[in-house]
Amino acid sequence: MGRTALQGEARIERKRKVLREKMQRYRKRVDLKNALMKQSAEDMEVEIARLLAERATRGEAVVAPTIRSSARLLSWEDVALALREGVTSSEEANAHLRRKIDEQKHLIQLMRAWVNRSFVLPDSTWRHVTLLADPHARKLGFDWITQHMFHNTSWVFERYEFPLPSPVRMTDEFVDASRPDCLQYVWRDQQAIDASFDDVCEIVNLDFFLDMMVHGAVSKAPLPMDMEMLAALGGGTCGYTSSIGTNEALNQVYRMFHSDRRRVFVAMNVHRDECIHWPARWTRNRMSWLAVDKVSPTHTVLRTIYLQSQGFTGDYKYNTLAEEAAGFNIQLDFTGHDESSLLPRYIHDATQIMQYSGAKYGSLLERTGASLQKK
């Protein structure tokens, strides 16, 4: 046999070998695919059996699987049943998601309107603090009011010229008349205590702060849903009280924030609560901050500021000076006088009343500090 013939046979043999290898790989792929399909069929049968058992448990009619040519084949009834169960489950999940989307849209609309109506800095008019009746919006309102006050703690102390945490003693009361259309009453107190931060915090707790807040003579029990919401926000670190005085409703949300070096209490009067209604003539903005600051292992500084605005009615009109004076039992003769001429006299008398109230408040703080320093 010639060389050319041998080369031709070698090429043919190589082609045959390549073809055999291709066929072997193909058969392996087919075998693997068949094995996967077989396993998939077995898995589907197990799932169908589970679904049939589940339907039987619920008391629904069950169509028995029809075995045609092999135990490995599924009837169309079985396939349709599995598909129908899957579609029903998907429809239920889709309906649930749509309800959640609608709830979130409603909540966003409520909160956007609420935030647009609310002012949360002492330099604003402070006449639109509202709690909504919607449970989700109400919980967010509790959290937002107190968180915003807490994050403005240092700003408020700086705005009202508190010295840095130090042994400097400061206590005073005054009427801020920088805005004649809205007087603001201010109490400030700062004192150093020769006691550890932890010892001070044992006494200056949420009950201590609550006792220092202003409360009306008649109160209402907390709403169950409010108690649940406040517990979810921080356990025993926040609360809400509702009471009424002679002319004014007092719905006050309060909260404590604590860290290794600082404890802060905040409180604010809610002007309108959609769930609580009082027959009050007017309301006021009331805000309180009490901060316990660690200066050293054996020295702590206690700083307090209380702000109270001029009264205003339900339609957000400020009290006249005559109405404001009557609220403080200050006797002014308006005959032949306008308000501007009587304002200095009113501020003088109001400051004296504030000093009397502030003295009781300051005495409580001093006794607290003295008892701690004796330890």
Mean pLDDT score of the chain: 81
CA distances from residue 269 to 14, 138, 142, 261, 344 in whole angstroms, order as listed: 94, 15, 11, 27, 27
Q: Which residues pair with 243 in a beta bridge?
A: 219, 250
**Is pLDDT above 90 for 305?**
yes
Q: Which of these, 264, 251, 237, 311, lies nearest to 156 by C-alpha position?
A: 264
State the pLDDT confidence band at 69, using cuts at 50, 70 and 90. very low
Q: Which of these, 294, 286, 284, 290, lies nearest to 305 by C-alpha position?
A: 290
CA distances from residue 48 to 60, 89, 221 in whole angstroms, order as listed: 15, 15, 55
pTM of the predicted protein model:
0.67
CATH code for the part of the protein at 130-373: 3.30.530
Rounded Cα distance between 175 and 308, Å, is 10
pLDDT of residue 113: 61
Min mean pLDDT across 38-47, 135-144, 253-262, 346-355 is at: 38-47
Contact of 121 with 152, CB cutoff 8 Å: yes
**Is pLDDT above 70 for 282?**
yes
The string of pLDDT tens digits covering residues 162-205 is 987 777 788 899 999 887 678 999 999 998 999 999 999 999 99
Q: Note the helical H segments in the chain.
A: 3-57, 76-117, 135-151, 153-159, 197-203, 206-212, 224-234, 321-327, 339-373
State the pLDDT confidence band at 70, using cuts at 50, 70 and 90. very low
pLDDT of residue 238: 92
